[in-house]
Chains A and B, each alone.
Chain A
Amino acid sequence: MAAQVLSPEDKLRQKRKKKNLLHRSIPIYIMALPGLIYLFINNYMPMPGIVLAFKNYKAKKGIYGSAWAGLKNFKYLFSTTDAWVITRNTIGYNLVFIIVNTIAAIAVAIILSELTSKAKKFYQSAILLPFLLSAVIISYLVFAFLSADNGFINNTILKAMGHDPINWYAEPKYWPFILVFVNLWKGIGYSCIIYLATIISFDRSLYEAAAIDGATKWQQIRSITLPLLKPTVIMLTLMAVGRIFYSDFGLFYQVPQNSGALLPVTNTIDTYVYRGLLELGDITMSAAAGVYQSLVGFVLVLGANLLVRKLDPDSALF
């Protein structure tokens, strides 16, 4: 190869590279340090604490000083009906949430993408707004509708229908529906935005060609939009399935207002862990449930990601 003529910049660049990689790197490491320290404190220091679940915890002796208990805590946890109830609720609600929210979000995204009116922007803003509200505020809003004494439903709707008031916060049978609805109300705007962004990126000429061939709107949606949307739906669903062992603590704890009567249908792994730790003082049981969640959750995230990577390497987390 002929010797290349190096421009002054190239020479400088090379010189720089050779001379002071370390010199360049030190400031960068310093920049990374505060964030890494935080991750160490917030995430890594607690990690070995999962051994707590295998210990006979005595607060005085601390996590590492307490005596080993082997799998006793887990045996005990899984001998209770709680273990089954919290697993069923966590997975069951998540599955329903995934199905309901995905279908609703796609439907709304498709409608929004096709609308030509100026109100489109307003619709989109309005349905995203609930996503920005805290769980506490949402619990107030739900309470305004469901409160036994003052609630809008008991006082206005049921009265008008001649129906007796319902003590909503004491009747478990309604809550699976209430929670699915509240979750949809809160989450639809978020998922809708992702699907809408995908739909907007589709090639418009496909639709124009279809329209010239006389395809109706419905036909266009069915044979162009939905097939093109399929990869995104699969990716997002797989990601959500990877998180199926985790639940929205605010939704399951705040919205039912921690009502004891509703526990059979509102207790999830997250609320169980919280109650064990701070309300019942049953720390080892709580820790065992936490480890159960961390480990199964970890496997699920890895599994989901593995599948995603097979289908579409670009969408995979790693």
Chain B
Amino acid sequence: MKTKSERKFQLIGNIIMIIITACALIPLVLMAISSFTDNDVLVRNGYSFIPEKWSFFAYEYIFKSSSAVIHAYGISILLTAVGTVCSLVITTLLAYALSRTFLPGRNILTFIVFFTMLFNGGLVPTYINYTTVFGLKNTFWSLLIPSLLMNAFNVMLMKSYFMTGVPEEIMEAAYIDGASEYAAFGRIALPLAKPIVATVGLFVGIGYWNDWMNGYIYLTKRTDLYSIQNLLNRMIQNIQFLSQSAGSISNAQQGLANIPSVSVRMAMAVVGVLPIIVIYPFVQNNFVKGITLGGVKG
């Protein structure tokens, strides 16, 4: 029994949402189409949704003759895998510890974690700390450790899940059966906390895959450690640098020889977002749940 006003609302609402959805996706569509466009056409007509000539050259080039892309891709995969696992281990353990209400000093520990959300030393002291004290510059560790490995927000998110999602009675029953603290955690609490572990793992994994800042700051010489994001970043910077210093022709030509063509660049960007797009439909619900949990009780 839909009323007339209801039908009108549904119609207008759908039209608005179709427009917004199109706005959200169009840039990605343009990127994908450009990567399949013939490079000469791209240079002549610019990026376009309806290319004059299609081509797979960019992808052939990437997978056949550009070892740099494959290499950077490997680094990104390794970084994301190692980073997510390490992060989940230390985050889960700390969150679980903070959820044990009997623990003496629990409030102090919680505050130590929480305070990092309120105040930080900032980029300069952090940079000096990692480069001079730990000598992280130009190592793989510099991609893995600074700022990404664990954050207080995820710890708090998990802690509250352990406290509300794992009933104390079940834990007590395990203790009475003679389970040690480790066994109670590993066999009871952890399996019950799977949903939040998956959600936090997703946040962390996407964070590692998308990070460019650590490589940008700490990898000054070891370009062989560049992740796909760093490689993409370096390329677009070179282009910008050339267009800003176009005065010197010989320099520009030298530089251009090292810069992949427009379509190859776009293909690389496509390859860079592909994992995100591929996993997105499967992880979306989990991701939305995480946002809701974190957003309502930040």
Bound Cα distance A114, B296 (Å):
21
Partner of A136, one of B124, B175, B232, B291: B232
Bound Cα distance A295, B180 (Å):
44
With an 8 A cutoff between CB atoms, is A24 at the interface?
A: yes
Give the distance to chain A from B71, nearest Cβ to Cβ, in Å.
17
Pick from A75-83, A118-126, A172-180 the stretch touching chain B: A118-126
- Chain B residues lying within 8 Å of A287, measured Cβ to Cβ, are 122, 124-125
Partner of A122, one of B21, B127, B129, B180: B21
With an 8 A cutoff between CB atoms, is A194 at the interface?
A: yes
Interface of B is mostly: helix
Interface of A is mostly: helix
Bound Cα distance A36, B5 (Å):
58
Contact: A148 with B24, CB < 8 Å? no
Contact: B20 with A21, CB < 8 Å? no
With an 8 A cutoff between CB atoms, is B133 at the interface?
A: yes
Contact: A145 with B124, CB < 8 Å? no
By beta carbon, the residue of chain B nearest A287 is: B124
Bound Cα distance A42, B125 (Å):
10
Q: How many residues of B contact A (CB 8 A)?
A: 107
With an 8 A cutoff between CB atoms, is B23 at the interface?
A: yes
Bound Cα distance A39, B229 (Å):
26
Partner of A115, one of B17, B119, B185: B17
List residues of chain B with CB under 8 Å of any chain A CB: 5-6, 9-10, 13-14, 16-18, 20-21, 23-25, 27-28, 30-31, 34, 42-43, 45-49, 89-91, 93-94, 96-98, 100, 102-104, 109, 112-114, 116-129, 132-134, 145-147, 149-150, 152, 155, 172, 175-176, 180-182, 185, 206, 209-213, 217, 229, 232-233, 236-237, 240, 243-244, 262, 265-266, 269, 272-273, 276-277, 280-281, 284, 287-288, 291-292, 295-298
Q: Can you list 24 residue pairs at the A/B interface with Cβ under 8 Å?
A: A16-B175, A27-B182, A29-B103, A31-B93, A31-B181, A35-B93, A38-B90, A46-B122, A49-B125, A62-B132, A125-B284, A126-B25, A132-B276, A134-B211, A134-B229, A139-B233, A140-B266, A141-B28, A144-B31, A144-B34, A145-B27, A198-B296, A249-B213, A277-B124
List residues of chain A with CB under 8 Å of any chain B CB: 9, 12-13, 16-17, 21, 24-25, 27-29, 31-32, 34-36, 38-39, 41-50, 52, 62-63, 108, 111-112, 114-117, 119-120, 122-130, 132-137, 139-145, 147-152, 154-156, 169, 185, 188-190, 193-194, 197-198, 216-217, 232, 236, 239, 249-250, 254, 257-260, 270, 273-274, 276-278, 283, 286-287, 290-291, 293-294, 297-298, 301-302, 315, 317-318
